[in-house]
Amino acid sequence: MKASIDKDLLPMKAHYFLFNAGTAPVVPFMPPLAKQLGYSDVVVGTMYMILPIVGLLAKPLFGYIADRYHRHRFLFLAGQLITAVAFFMVMFVPAVEKPQFHCHAGVSNIRYCSNYPKDAETQLESFYGNRTLTCNMACQMEPDMWDIVCQHWLDANPLSDCQANRTKNTLTFSTYIDMKGLIEEANGNMRCLNFLIPHDLGTIDSRNVTLYCPKDQPMFQSSCQMECNDTFINELLPDSSVINMGSAVALPEFWFFFGMLIISWVGMAVVVSIGDAICFGILGERHHLYGRQRLCGSLGWGIFALLAGLLVDTMSKEGSIDKNYTIVFWMTLIILGFDMLASTKLKHTQTHMSANILRDVGQMFLSIRCVVFFLWCVAIGLGTALIWNFLFIYLEELAKPFDNGANFIKTLEGLVMSIQCFGGELPFFFMSGWILKRIGHVNAMSLVLFGFGVRFILYSMLQNPWYILPIELLNGVTFGLFYATMASYASIVAPPGTEATMQSLVGAIFEGIGVSMGSQIGGQLFDGVGARTTFEIFGIAAFIVFVIHVCVQIYLQRNGPAENGKGRSSTAASATASASASASANASATPDCPTSIKNLDGFRDVDLS
């Protein structure tokens, strides 16, 4: 028998593949990029708390506009365009300037740039006079810098013993700064202080050295963390290598970076929510086939996430902490351009109308079971935020003790995303229809919570970053099964004519409330108790929520109020009457919300009481 291909679904498959392929090179690398630009964990957590709130507002708004004015295609294409352009503009965000150690032609100095008080130079000179301070420096190193250190600072013999350090990316030493010879200069919107190092003196591993750099060598210039042995200067000139929230909001480059992320988040919110509504509209009554469309997205994400990680490591300097992300922004721009072209071929027309979209969707909040579903989305969002925004930061911390950690980290992150997709999401999206038919939506929800608990506890036990790879197979449960369950459930319970609004609402609750709260909580915990303890806390919390969810669902099965159809449309009531005979055997498995009942193709969780 010849297999038939539904040509109407091919553009939808192409969209899922291309959109995920286009966002995979940038989305997972944004938190590490923010750290590289100089922003603290709290700043990153705050940004990723606000971004889902933007999605919370954008998804229902544009979903409502799409349903109300039948502008699904226009908003869908516009979302893809602004996502591509906004992410591409992030490439032009400058890094926050860190303290610089300069050494050339027998002169060494430290250059400190920040929005420090205008009279800082006067305060320092009057407070310290002719004193000399000792400061500890931790400077980023390139391989060629080690040649100068070994040959001229340490006078190493044999030289090869010292040059074995070329794979290390940080040099720690102490030096002295002269407080009577400060030189101040302007640098854009910031001011800079130059501290001279008298006689180029320093200390490395308790050994006195001369920080000498010859004329015939390139200037030794390195970004550093600086901490001096006196409270007054540390309070007046805080470490500018890590920007806290108070300092970030005063920087125009921060607002440009954050603004582009906000615009890209709005674009992605529109594309994801309206795209899923279009997909379910094309599928019609074949809801169980959604996972087989969405798995194309996992395929695109897995391939291009791995490729992006490899390219970033390849195009970055060997041994360098700072990575060159230029290629990923070009990948996003080009691939999303092809996505727009494929999306113009979609054949979708809205066949159902809602007389009052807000009223129909509002009925969802009158059902206990729907409210439990929404709270489940929030709980999953809390856990998802930790993985999306902080997992790679944790991996980079684990890789630091390894001599070549800076060389392989982006490749490892690409492998992580590939296994998440190929080993996790793809098979679970493919089997999601079968799984949901077998165990029902509610049992699937409980399974997802349990999967998060196992995954987080395993993260907290990691010592070697490479051991994360088998753990990522659990992404099939925590994202693949979760997303298929969430989108399918939302489509099933959506009143006719509100499909885009309902998908947007559920997505907004997941991201705008769950991911937002998880980002802020995760950022505070990372900064306060460390990465390992944070994952342990989230793992224990996931197990607790899992137990609570199971108990609540058992209670609702046995004692929950019967949904009497109050507020349903006449169409829904007639559908209920005609379907009750055939579905009564499965009615008790996992009850649904009191909305319009469609042909569920064997889905077990239907409340027809």
Who has greater pLDDT, 155 or 524? 524
Q: Is the pLDDT of residue 163 over 80?
A: no
Who has greater pLDDT, 61 or 362? 61
Q: Is residue 146 part of a domain?
A: yes
Contacts with 547 (C-beta within 8 Å, 6 or more apart), sequence order: none
Q: Which is nearest to 251 in space by CA: 39, 14, 495?
A: 39
Q: Are residues 209 and 234 in the same domain?
A: yes
| Cα–Cα distance for residue pair 263/210, rounded to 1 Å | 50
pLDDT score of 101: 87
Cβ atoms of residues 211 and 175 within 8 Å = yes
pLDDT score of 551: 93
Stated pTM of the model: 0.66
Q: Is residue 578 part of a domain?
A: no
Q: Are residues 257 and 199 in the same domain?
A: no
Who has greater pLDDT, 101 or 587? 101
> Which of 221, 242, 263 is at the close of a domain?
242
Q: Is residue 158 part of a domain?
A: yes
pLDDT score of 201: 81
Q: Are residues 365 and 448 in the same domain?
A: yes
Q: Are strands 132-140 and 170-178 parallel, antiparallel or unpaired?
A: antiparallel
> Which of 224, 242, 260 is at the close of a domain?
242
pLDDT score of 298: 80
Segment 402-414 shows an average pLDDT of 71
Half-sphere exposure of 187 (CA within 13 A, CB side): 17
Half-sphere exposure of 81 (CA within 13 A, CB side): 8
Q: Is residue 593 part of a domain?
A: no
Q: Is residue 134 part of a domain?
A: yes
What letter represents residue 50's amino acid? I
Q: Is residue 433 part of a domain?
A: yes
Q: Are residues 81 and 160 in the same domain?
A: no
Q: Are residues 205 and 248 in the same domain?
A: no
What letter represents residue 444's amino acid? A
Secondary structure of residue 229 in the 3-state scheme: coil
pLDDT score of 209: 84
Range of the domain at 54: 1-95+244-347
Of the pLDDT bands very low, low, confident and very high (cuts 50, 70, 90), residue 348 is low
Cβ atoms of residues 197 and 178 within 8 Å = yes
Who has greater pLDDT, 565 or 257? 257
Q: Are residues 324 and 202 in the same domain?
A: no
pLDDT score of 129: 82
For 383, the token pair is 């856990």
E strand or H helix that includes residue 371: helix 368-399
Segment 522-530 shows an average pLDDT of 86
* pLDDT tens per residue across span 287-296: 667 777 878 8
Of the pLDDT bands very low, low, confident and very high (cuts 50, 70, 90), residue 160 is low
Q: Which is nearest to 390 in space by CA: 261, 590, 526?
A: 526
What letter represents residue 160's amino acid? S
Of the pLDDT bands very low, low, confident and very high (cuts 50, 70, 90), residue 549 is very high
Q: CA 20: distance to chain centroid?
A: 14
pLDDT score of 510: 87
Residue count of the chain = 609
Q: Is the pLDDT of residue 459 over 90?
A: yes
| Cα–Cα distance for residue pair 373/375, rounded to 1 Å | 5
| Cα–Cα distance for residue pair 272/535, rounded to 1 Å | 28
Q: Are residues 195 and 112 in the same domain?
A: yes
pLDDT score of 111: 86
Q: Is residue 149 part of a domain?
A: yes
Q: Is the pLDDT of residue 390 over 50?
A: yes
pLDDT score of 454: 95
Q: Is the pLDDT of residue 180 over 80?
A: no
Segment 480-494 shows an average pLDDT of 83
Query: pLDDT exceeding 90 applies to what percent of the chain?
Result: 18
Query: Backbone phi, then psi, for 307, in 5-degree steps?
Result: -60, -40
pLDDT score of 360: 60
Dihedral sign (CA 551, 552, 553, 556): positive
pLDDT score of 19: 92
Of the pLDDT bands very low, low, confident and very high (cuts 50, 70, 90), residue 448 is very high
Q: Which is nearest to 16 in space by CA: 299, 281, 287?
A: 299
pLDDT score of 496: 67
For 598, the token pair is 């469609």
pLDDT score of 601: 34
Q: Are residues 378 and 515 in the same domain?
A: yes
> Which of 200, 216, 242 is at the close of a domain?
242
Q: Is 185 exposed, middle or buried (0-12, 13-18, 19+ CB in 10 A)?
A: exposed
Segment 247-251 shows an average pLDDT of 76
Q: Are residues 162 and 174 in the same domain?
A: yes
| Cα–Cα distance for residue pair 353/496, rounded to 1 Å | 6
Cβ atoms of residues 1 and 59 within 8 Å = no
Point out which residues pair with 207 in neighbouring strands.
Answer: 204
* pLDDT tens per residue across span 591-609: 345 433 333 333 333 332 2
E strand or H helix that includes residue 193: strand 190-196
Cβ atoms of residues 502 and 493 within 8 Å = yes
Q: Domain count of the chain?
A: 3
Q: Are strands 107-114 and 170-178 parallel, antiparallel or unpaired?
A: unpaired
Q: Is the pLDDT of residue 574 over 50?
A: no
Q: Are residues 429 and 547 in the same domain?
A: yes
Query: pLDDT exceeding 70 applies to what percent of the chain?
Result: 82
For 369, the token pair is 């079971």
pLDDT score of 561: 54
User: If you ran DSSP here, which 8-state letter would residue 513 be given?
Assistant: I
The DSSP result for 445-497, as a single string, is: HHHHHHHHHHHHHHHHT-SSGGGHHHHGGGHIIIIIIHHHHHHHHHHHHSPTT
Segment 244-268 shows an average pLDDT of 85
Q: Is residue 498 part of a domain?
A: yes
pLDDT score of 443: 92
Q: Which is nearest to 542 in space by CA: 479, 443, 449?
A: 449
Q: Which is nearest to 382 in space by CA: 49, 59, 60, 57?
A: 49
Q: Which is nearest to 412 in space by CA: 428, 429, 400?
A: 400
Of the pLDDT bands very low, low, confident and very high (cuts 50, 70, 90), residue 403 is low
CATH number at residue 45: 1.20.1250.20
pLDDT score of 524: 85
Segment 21-40 shows an average pLDDT of 86
Q: Is the pLDDT of residue 1 over 50?
A: no
Q: Are residues 315 and 289 in the same domain?
A: yes
- Compute the mean pLDDT over every residue in the chain, rounded to the nearest whole number: 78
Q: Is the pLDDT of residue 301 over 70?
A: yes
Of the pLDDT bands very low, low, confident and very high (cuts 50, 70, 90), residue 166 is low
- What SS3 string covers 128-163? HCCCEEEEEEEEECCHHHHHHHHHHHCCCCCHHHHH
> What's the Rg (C-alpha) of the chain?
28
Q: Are residues 249 and 237 in the same domain?
A: no
Point out which residues pair with 175 in neighbouring strands.
Answer: 135, 202
CB atoms < 10 A from the CB of 188, how many?
11
Q: Which is nearest to 425 in space by CA: 486, 507, 481, 487?
A: 481
pLDDT score of 604: 37
